[in-house]
Structure 1
Amino acid sequence: MQIILAVIVGAAVGLAVHFLVADRATRGVVIGPVVGALSAGVVWTILTWAGVGTDSVWLWLSMFAAPLVVSYPVVVLLSRSRVARDANERARLRIG
């Protein structure tokens, strides 16, 4: 049941990343929280299956570190690719 805590914290970290990265209007608001929740849940599951117990600090730190390490680059890459694609399309259409 503690995995629910990891998923919620991962979603919160992903939401914070969404608001901290520039060009918010170029991506959906749920991208950051979903990527954060998925990464926290997957890492929590892998560590649990590897035998790391809930008494270990590494398991609890993973629910903060994994969403930050995964969702920040994903959100940045999505924003950059959207901005570049929009600029190319504006240049192609000669609209500014």
Structure 2
Amino acid sequence: MYILLALIAACSLGIGLHFLMPKRDLRGVAVTPAVATAVAAAVYTIMQWAGIADGNVWLWVVSIGGGLLVAAIATASISAQRTHHDRLEKQALGI
């Protein structure tokens, strides 16, 4: 049941991360929170299977922080790829 708290926190912080990162118009509004939530869920589950208890602060820090870190990297990568693709398309069209 505690996993829901971690997922809500990761999603909420992912929304904030979306608005803090540049080039918001090049990606969907749900990409960053979705990645943060999915990664947080996977990390939380793996750490639980590894025997780390709910009361351990590292479970929370690693799952939420890892989710945000991966989401930030994925968001920056998506934005960079989109910028590159748009530049190539503009060159191809002669704009």
Q: Output the TM-score relative to the length of structure 2.
A: 0.94
Deviation of 1:64 after TM superposition, in Å, equals 2.6
Q: Which residue of 2 aligns with 1:85?
A: 85
Residue by residue over 1:20-70, the C-alpha shift from the partner in whole angstroms, topping out at 9 and shown as x without a partner, is: 111100000000010000011111000000000012111121233112211
Question: Structure 2 CA distance, aligned partners of 1:29 and 1:61?
Answer: 24
Deviates more, 1:6-15 or 1:31-40: 6-15
Question: Aligned residues, how many?
Answer: 95
* Paired AA for residue 86 in structure 2: D
Question: Structure 1 CA distance, aligned partners of 2:63 and 2:81?
Answer: 28
CA RMSD, 1 decimal: 0.9
Q: Output the TM-score relative to the length of structure 1.
A: 0.93
Q: Which residue of 1 aligns with 2:34?
A: 34
Deviation of 1:12 after TM superposition, in Å, equals 1.4
8 A Cα contact 1:13 1:67, kept in partner? no
Q: Which runs of 4+ in 1 moved over 2 A?
A: none
* Paired AA for residue 51 in structure 2: G
Deviation of 1:87 after TM superposition, in Å, equals 0.8
The answer to whether structure 1 residue 14 and structure 2 residue 14 are counterparts is yes
Q: Which residue of 1 aligns with 2:5?
A: 5
Unaligned runs of 5+ in 1: none
* Paired AA for residue 39 in structure 1: V
Unaligned runs of 5+ in 2: none
